[in-house]
Amino acid sequence: MKVSGFIWLLLWFTFVTAGCWGQTLRQEAERDGILVSTAARLPPLSEPAYAATLAREFNMLEPEDAMKWAALRPDERTFDFREADALVRFAVEHKMKVRGHCLTWGRNNPDWLMQGHFTSNQLSRLLHEHITRVMEHYSGQVFAWDVVNEALEEKGTVRGSIWYDQPGIGFAGQGTAHIEQAFRWAHEADPKALLFYNEAEGEWMNRKSDAIYAMLKDFKQRGVPIDGVGLQMHIPFLEADTYGIAANIARLAALGLQVNITELDVSLPLDSNSMVRAEDLLRQAEIYRAIVRACLNSSNCTAIQTWGFTDKYSWIGSHSRGTRGQALPFDRIYRSKPAYRAVLDELSAGRSQSR
């Protein structure tokens, strides 16, 4: 069944009006001592609806792209903090925390870096300088950082990258040593900041999550300065092993690590008219509900973050070439969807509820 205008209106009215008027994700999360967050972009802040929804619903934001190398480093000698600073100012003005993303990644790097034919010693110097300059610039403003992003392959092996082995910063062939070095530099730059490893496709129990767990256990045992792990949670095909997610969160928390859900979205198949089925919206809501509940059932799961909050600015459409979309809790005109109500209901139930 396609969602006609009438059916969509009925679904929207039912879910928005269920429960108490006036409650927001932010209000319920703060009552329960958890951070509810989203990745944010600067240009849409000029839209009143975008800015108002962001400030009303979330108590933390993470710049989606503005703190990545490609945005901050137009050339080797220059740091351009203007876009990221504007997002931080918005957060401060609205009493939101800021989570930084990301200091080290094999992608989204500027051409001058990727095509510069730097030696390992030069790359080591550049990365150390970058981590230090960026973290010192935001010291006292950004309380937590994704220090390293997506450094492992699906099978759990180390991913080839400019920082590891192309040519790397001096630790090629030494497993996760380059990741460890980035965390040590980050701790030196801002000892008060919380430091996270952020990864995709390792949310439930599989070879990759086993490799993440083994690496973080090793880091903790050897005193590498790491505080937490980010589980991205880009969920395709309306499939999520929520029991496996809960078990994975539990074992990571048992290491003494904070767990953050960092990039949650649940994409839906679109027909030729960019419409979705009503039953898919409801299934999407149940996946959101189960993931939020898995987080709330662990005292070490301290943040739930979506990768954007409105379908208007989701990456899913372009990434899937228009075959998937509507992955977020708010639609393109900022109406809340069944997924929003599911998240709100779980936050309202709080950490004490067990399932």
pLDDT (tens digit, 9 = 90+) per residue, 298-322? 999 999 999 999 999 999 988 888 8
CATH code of the domain occupying 1-60+200-349: 3.20.20.80
Which one of 150, 180, 203, 346 is the catalytic residue?
A: 150
**The domains spanning 1-60+200-349 and 65-141+149-191 adopt the same CATH topology:** yes
Closest CA to 101 of 7, 18, 208, 194: 194
146-193 pLDDT, tens digit per residue, is: 999 999 999 999 999 999 999 999 999 999 999 999 999 999 999 999
> What confidence tens digit (pLDDT) does each residue in 68-91 have?
999 999 999 999 999 999 999 999
**Contact (CB, 8 A) for 339 and 15:** no
> For the residues of 186-251, what is the DSSP string, one character each?
HHHH-TTSEEEEEESS-SSSSHHHHHHHHHHHHHHHTT----EEEE--EE-TT---HHHHHHHHHH
State both tokens at 182: 């980035």
| Active-site residue flag, 263 | yes
Query: Is 93 part of the annotated catalytic residue set?
Result: no
CATH code of the region 65-141+149-191 = 3.20.20.80
Question: Which of 57, 64, 263, 346 is an active site residue?
Answer: 263
pTM above 0.85, yes or no: yes
Segments making up each domain of the chain, as ranges? 1-60+200-349, 65-141+149-191
CB 52 within 8 A of CB 28: no
- Report the sign of the C-alpha dihedral through residues 47, 289, 59, 195, in that order: negative
